[in-house]
Amino acid sequence: MSEMNEPGSTPRRNPLIWIALAVAGLVLFVFLNGDRGSSVRVVKTPETSEAVGSVERSLLVPPGMRARQYLEQLRAKGKPYPLQEVFDKAQKYLQEGSLADAHLLYFFGAREDYLPSIMVMGEMADPTLFRAEDSLLDHADVIQAYKWYQKAAEMGQQTAAERLENLQRWAIAEAEFGNPEARQLLLNFK
């Protein structure tokens, strides 16, 4: 599944989109007319956006913007962050196809050492598990996968340790065919 508004992506279309676009246009028109002097940067809060519907919201808000606004709010409140809530929100974004928002929230959780987020980051980049429809990025990235699995394994996550072994096996096989990423990864295992 592709991210809406990303270059080269193909937005999903359904008959309701035209109705939604009309509603969005109306909202935009009223909004801009009500404050002519303000910037055209129309950024709705996640809450108000929900009322409009997912399709038109995606057309108004750049990919990742909602996650960034949410993180800004979290950081304003300070630590400890509700990492389970962040993870759940990421899952929700993923399900609705907002891949940039989902990616940023998983990434945030992973940097804050939240194990489920770390594992998702690893799996999204794992060449043996990569699914383009669930990933913001177009390709697997074995160095990223290694980094996150390594971090999870150091935190005692057994599955991550097994995934690392799996990555090593993958790299040994791929390196024989001249895959430069695989060769680089093997340097990390030696």
Residue 190 makes contact with other proteins by CB under 8 A: yes
How many residues sit close enough to other proteins to count as binding (CB under 8 A)? 33
Binding of other proteins by 137 (CB under 8 A): yes
Residue 168 sits in the site that holds other proteins (CB under 8 A)? no
What is 14-74 written as a DSSP string?
-THHHHHHHHHHHHHHHHHHHTTTS-S-----HHHHHHH-HHHHHHHS-TTHHHHHHHHHH
Cα 1 from Cα 4, distance rounded (Å): 9
Residue 96 binds other proteins (CB under 8 A): no
Question: Taking contact as CB under 8 A, which single stretch among the options 19-27, 41-49, 154-162, 173-181 is the one that binds other proteins?
Answer: 173-181
Report in angstroms how near the CB of residue 90 gets to other proteins at its nearest.
13
- Single-letter amino acid code for the residue at 141: D
Question: Which of residues 75, 92, 131, 169 is near other proteins by CB under 8 A?
Answer: 75
Secondary structure (DSSP) of 141-185: -HHHHHHHHHHHHHTT-HHHHHHHHHHHHHHHHHHTTT-HHHHHH
Site for other proteins (CB under 8 A): which residue of 56, 123, 126, 174?
A: 174
Using only C-alpha atoms, the chain has a radius of gyration, in whole angstroms, of 20
Cis status, amide bond into 80, omega within 30 of 0: yes
Q: Is 141 in the site for other proteins (CB under 8 A)?
A: yes
Give the footprint of other proteins on this chain (CB under 8 A): 3, 5-7, 62-64, 68, 71-72, 75, 100, 103-104, 107-108, 111, 136-137, 141, 143-144, 147, 174, 176-179, 181, 184, 187-188, 190
